[in-house]
Amino acid sequence: MTEDIYSFKYGQYGDTEAIIAKKPGLALQYFNYINKGTAFSNEERLRLGLEGALPPSPRFLNHQVINSAEKVKNKKDDIERYIYIRALFDRNVTLAHALIRSDIEKYMGIIYTPTVGVACQRYSSIFRTANGIHFYPGNIDRAEEILRRYTHQGIRVAVVTDNQGILGIGDQGAGGIAICLGKLMLYTQGAGFAPWHCLPISLDVGTNNKELLADEYYLGWRHERLSGSEYLRFVQRFAKAFRAVFPNALCQWEDFSKQNAFAIRDAYLHDLISFNDDIQGTGAVTLAAILTAMTIKQEKLEEQIYLIHGAGAGGVGVAEQIETALIEKGLPPEAARSRIFTLDRHGLVTTDRKLEPYKQKFAKNPDKLAWLREAGDGTLENVVKHEKITVLIGTSGQGGCFTKEVIQAATTNTPRPVILPLSNPTSMTEALPEDIYKWTDGGALIATGSPFPPVSHNGRIYKIGQCNNVFVFPGVGLGIITSGAKEVLPSFFTAAAHAVSQCVQPEEMSQGQLLPPVSRLRDVSLKVAQAVGLTAIKSDVGHLCAFSDFQHDYDEKKLNRLITNMRWNPEYLPILLAS
């Protein structure tokens, strides 16, 4: 058991001050939280029983990063780069994160989207080292016992997936845990959660992916997916065990199917400290872009009419977050909802259709829409025209559906429409920024789901902000943990959206950016954590976590000090021998 090899020494505010080695010797090189590789100093080598086990001249962290970056550069493609960084993480956590931090914009595309999608698909063939927990019907009854093996790490956040709704590529079975691994690396990069406080969890309820079931080397539970009551009982057993073992930890649900995503999120709102990033994180980062657009336009959120094209988990999540923000602005719930329209592949979502439960909230009564006379009238262009849409959001995965006619229809409603084509990858984006600027003569305010290079139009350079959930979930998680929040409120995500928007600098807004650059992720996450933590305390669901000595003192400065001190930096910690 790893707890017999090492433990952690924590400071007053929950920060990790040192690693306690239970005994000296060569084994210290084989645990990735302890291992420093060539960076063990001569004094450490002598004291920790490593003398002679390494080349004589130490190579310290900054030079290790340079050396590792060169190795990454020399790999033939991004999946090989992904494999290298994951292998580096498995032998030296600090170096892996120092490397990623050295150029977060570049490495984020390798450790997470888009490369992680390929890693999910090829999980069984590229498998190197086991990470996290794999629950399946053969062990779910022992879930509490299995989770308790990780209590010595002081788990603060777990990312949990059932592997069904991965990144637009669907059911990837056991491979979905790669998403959890990537998300948790971003929790560390943004919020500063130390890697040992992070736990990836796969709920392997089988797969309906026929290619995986037919693959003799597939590592997951080789069975068709559980569904109905069997599926629900499986999730319930996990949730009960997680709550028993980690009652103060955050459980982030990730990449569930649309219906399961809403059902599970809502079922455990009060039983677990949990949220679904595909729903709430997407909603918050989209709201952040809209808030920045309102600053640029000098208009109010409650003056806009919203259309979300794509009524899946992300799209309905965006609608929910806009509704929450409008209610916080003083609009009654029905008035807020009346300003939000949703479309799916059948057109405008209306109450006269048979709808999945999660779509019903924003369905419109067709009898109250005089222009909607025939079944085929509820097209994207018609809704933009007749409902005077000023904010158009794409989460449909239908590449090119924001046509010139649709975009120009929006410009008749406002000279500066907010156009957010959020589907990714690039091939699925609803419209290219270059085209949107051309069709609106530079008037549109744009953010995208995929990264795009700057656009030149009429002698001006426009920089395209990316609606990336990474601006939201790390800081939300840190704010929840440090405030001691016992449930996750919708207002946390509104607070997060305002914090993200406030991080966009005036000169960036002048260039058309609606979101900050990813290079400032750590600073943005700090602002989000502070906003969310303060919201939790003011909402009386936070009590400042047990790591502090001021549990009932709600002073904002003390909250901020706790947040700042708890953040881990990818720097080698002192290693102390147990006395």
Dist CA 282 CA 503 (whole Å): 18
Which one-letter DSSP state was computed for residue 447? E
In contact, 362 and 341? CB cutoff 8 Å? yes
Catalytic residue among 36, 183, 258, 527: 183
Token pair 């990033």 is at which residue? 277
Catalytic residue among 6, 13, 107, 112: 112
Helix (H, G, I), strand (E, B) or coil at 489: coil
Q: How far is CA 464 from the centre of its chain?
A: 20
**Length of the chain, in residues:** 579
Dist CA 361 CA 512 (whole Å): 33
Active site includes 183? yes
Strand order in the sheet with 198-203: 133-135, 198-203, 157-161, 250-254, 273-276
Dist CA 319 CA 311 (whole Å): 9
Cis check: omega of the bond before 425, within 30 degrees of 0: yes
Helix (H, G, I), strand (E, B) or coil at 209: coil
Measured between alpha carbons, how far is residue 390 from residues 340, 385, 441 in Å?
A: 11, 10, 16
134-166 as b/e: b if 16+ CB within 10 A = bbbbeebeebeebbeebeebbbbbbbbbbbbbb
Active site includes 112? yes
Closest CA to 57 of 48, 75, 45: 45
Amino acid at 414: T
In contact, 416 and 297? CB cutoff 8 Å? yes
Cis check: omega of the bond before 333, within 30 degrees of 0: no
Mind telling me the catalytic residues?
112, 183
